[in-house]
Amino acid sequence: MKILVLYGPNLNMLGKRDVSQYGTVTLDAINEMLKDIAQKESIDLVFFQSNHEGVLIDFLQKYSKNASGILINPGALTHYGYSLRDALTDTKLPIVEVHLSNILEREAFRKTDVLDRIVLERFMGKREKSYIDGLAKLIKHIKNQKSNSKNTK
């Protein structure tokens, strides 16, 4: 089983950017944490970060075919990234959205989330723990999907 883990703009700067919102943990450290969890479940994670919406879309078009799900922190694209939203929808994969900060308790523009209707669930406000919870949800969902499809065969 393969899960795509995507990060949008500025998330490569974790550890250095606005530590009051995002903490001091780097993206590499988050990836290591997720890798540990995935390994125990024999799941492959494919990590990708870009500061460009089109590059994220190119990645999804190329790699979603062989994946079982998507874990994504779209960064600020969360609030206005309609072409990313369309590309995510086109994958037809289960998607879980994560945020380090609580986007509902910050500036007004962050309350708009163009992905909220297309994701299984959103995890936010728990810093890197949001990722752990989000990955657990996605794995559980994919496993349930697989066992349900087996039972109906």
Q: Which residues of the chain form contacts with ligand DQA (CB under 6 A)? A: 10, 73, 75-76, 78, 99-101, 103, 110
Give the residue with the Cβ less far from ligand DQA, 10 or 26.
10
In the complex, what is the shortest distance from the CB of residue 65 to ligand DQA, in angstroms, rounded to a whole number? 26
Burial class, 3, CB count within 10 angstroms (exposed 0-12 / middle 13-18 / buried 19+): buried
Q: Which of 7, 22, 63, 82 is catalytic?
A: 22
Cα separation, 14 vs 16, whole angstroms: 5
Q: What tokens appear for 152 in the block?
A: 């109906």
In the complex, what is the shortest distance from the CB of residue 129 to ligand DQA, in angstroms, rounded to a whole number? 12
Give the residue with the Cβ less far from ligand DQA, 2 or 51.
51
Q: What tokens appear for 83 in the block?
A: 């072409």
Cα separation, 28 vs 120, whole angstroms: 25
In the complex, what is the shortest distance from the CB of residue 110 to ligand DQA, in angstroms, rounded to a whole number? 4
